[in-house]
Amino acid sequence: MTNLPTSYIDFNDLDEVMKLYFEGTLDNVDEYTPNLYKGLSELHPTNSLFGQVCNDEINECVWGLTRFERAAIEFHYLNSEKSRILLLNIYLNEPTSTSFESWVEIAFLEAMESLSFEVMQIL
């Protein structure tokens, strides 16, 4: 029997969480302290993931991805030279007619989809 996900992760919510993760501020809840007595969905009402995942859990999810997927995400958020080199190496060895920038954007979106499945596993 295959377990199929019955819900999804909102891309914008995951994007916001990943920005905070790469800034190193995902676990910083000082500005949300007045909402701590409320339910998780009210901690940061515009983000369905906030309060449900912490830095360690996102780190675990990121490391559950392939090296290629991690590089695409890291390049998107940090513009990492190391990730750019890895992505460029893969790009040059694949038959494609799209530009590197378009190819990386597609790789990023696919990596975020894989990440969302990893996140769903821990929720």
Condensed to tens digits (0 to 9), the pLDDT of residues 3-44 reads: 444 457 888 889 988 998 999 888 776 666 665 566 655 655
Rounded to whole angstroms, the Cα distance separating 123 from 119 reads: 7
Reported residue count of the chain is 123
d(CA 19, CA 44): 15
Domain limits, the chain: 11-122
Question: Over pLDDT 70: what percentage of the chain?
Answer: 78
pLDDT digits over 94-113, tens only? 988 899 999 999 999 999 99
Strand partners, 50: 53
Prediction pTM value: 0.79
The 3-state DSSP composition of the chain as helix, strand, coil percent (nearest 5) reads 65, 0, 35
**Distance separating alpha carbons of residues 61 and 114, to the nearest angstrom:** 9
Contacts of 99 (CB under 8 A, 6+ apart): none
Q: pLDDT, tens digit, for every residue of 71-80?
A: 999 999 999 9
